Amino acid sequence: MKKLPLTLTAAGLLLAAQPAWSDARVAVAHFAPFSDTIDGTAVDIAVNGSVALTDVRFKDFTEYLPFAAGEYTIEIFLAGTAGNADPAIAGTFTLMDNTDYTLYAVGNAITQDLELRALVDNTDDPMSGNLNIRVVHAAPFAADLAATEVSIRTAGGDIVNGLVGVPYNVDSGFFEIPADTYDLKVASNDGSVNYIDPLPAPLPAGADVTVFAVGDGINQPLGIIAFPVGELETRTPVDNRSNGMWMIQEGSGTGFVFQPMPSQNRAVGTWYTYDMDGNPTFLTFDSCDVMPGDMDDVCMNPGGFDGKMATTALYTSSGGGPNEDDVVTTAKVGEIDFEILNCNEATATVRLDGSDPVTYNASQLTRPFPCVD
């Protein structure tokens, strides 16, 4: 992710001769996905009538630029049209002494209007070993605000700082978290669907980080910009299209129930078949490779499923019953490699301990969620 060079105009509106800490500082960001090409999002930004930044494109942002305190009119023009066309976006902002701001363009002119928004970036220093983080929903992927609501979750599916039901154009404000490497997700309110799934990222102690959810899924893909770090690499979010009951084509009465856990990039389920006497046999599988019953089945290392492929541990259990004292014995007996080929076809390669692997073809019988390849 590139930052824009600090190109200042001769108008003196951006006071390059000032010390590093001026009366006010402003970071400028372009998070408005109004074109289906990056070149088509290019804009020029004018401050009080003079062009200050040129060829600014979607996901670009600047470092903090020094401004004198006061009122400013900011206009955004399609690149090369300043002086010959009306601005696509305009706004007036008052900057206060000794205050940092992030000024960003949002909207796509399809589901949400184009507009300029400003955030105050000043915050108290975090406690030792912590950092300040703020989450901003700047992704206009639906016209109805209720339909844009998201939750922010950990890889284990836990809600972060109560951030659930967060609609477009809302920010969390800064809050403190311990410095660590975080695997966070932007998900539906119930966590069943991931919208944006960035790779784990280290967040250092003492930092002030603003995480912007950007893109609209129409013109530009959904993504994450962490200011002042840059764009975070993402992976394809796990969804529920493979959820349901699957039938093995090579064996009558054999199949599996496949259940993705999108918030954890995890797949769990049950494999069912019959023994030589016609008795049903049920086994469980889990891409987390956690023994059922261990630590209350909490997956301490979520993952193993990317939405298409998973390697799962295979378990068999015996014993148990209606009484609390009945003992269940669980043992790992092998692994299954799943590959979801499309909405209706999959393969499962079963590797039982001590046996050669066998690959089966499967077709989906039932699904609780719609599937679109």
Domain ranges of the chain: 1-120, 123-235, 244-366
What is the pLDDT at residue 294? 54
What does CATH list as the number for 1-120?
A: 2.60.40
Between 101 and 238, residue with greater pLDDT: 101
The reply to whether domains 1-120 and 123-235 share a CATH topology is yes
Q: Is residue 325 pLDDT above 70, yes or no?
A: no
Assign 3-class secondary structure to the chain.
CCECCCCCCCCCCECCCCCCCCCEEEEEEECCCCCCCCHHHCEEEEECCEEEEEEECCCCECCCEEECCEEEEEEEEECCCECCECCCEEEEEEECCCEEEEEEEECCCCCCCCEEEEEECCCCCCCCCEEEEEEEECCCCCCCHHHHCEEEEECCCCECCCCCCECCCCECCCEEEECEEECEEEECCCCCCEEEEECCEEECCCCEEEEEEECCCCCCCCEEEEECCEEECEECCCCCCCCEEEEECCCCCCEEEEEEEHHHCEEEEEEEEECCCCCEEEEEEECCCCCCCHHHHCCCCCCCECCCEEEEEEEEEEECCCCCCCCEEEEEEEEEEEEECCCCEEEEEEEECCCCCEEEEEEEEECCCCCCC
What is the pLDDT at residue 141? 96
Q: Which pLDDT band, with edges at 50, 70 and 90, does 317 fall under?
A: confident
What is the pLDDT at residue 8? 34
Q: Is residue 54 pLDDT above 80, yes or no?
A: yes
Pick the closest to residue 57 from 44, 75, 73 (CA basis).
44
CATH number belonging to the domain at 123-235, selected among 3.40.720, 3.30.390, 1.20.1290, 2.60.40: 2.60.40
Mean pLDDT taken over the chain: 88
What is the pLDDT at residue 191? 83
What are the φ/ψ torsions at residue 77 (nearest 5 degrees)? -115, 145
The predicted model scores a pTM of: 0.76
What is the pLDDT at residue 101? 97
**Per residue in 111-152, pLDDT tens?**
999 999 999 999 999 999 999 999 999 999 999 999 999 999
User: CATH topology for 244-366?
Assistant: Lipocalin (2.40.128)
Pick the closest to residue 340 from 366, 369, 289, 305 (CA basis).
305
What is the pLDDT at residue 92? 97
Between 132 and 266, residue with greater pLDDT: 132
Q: Is residue 306 pLDDT above 90, yes or no?
A: no
**Per residue in 4-23, pLDDT tens?**
443 333 233 333 333 344 48
Mean pLDDT of 273-295: 77
What is the pLDDT at residue 291? 58
Q: Is residue 1 pLDDT above 70, yes or no?
A: no
Q: Is residue 100 pLDDT above 70, yes or no?
A: yes
What is the pLDDT at residue 253? 84
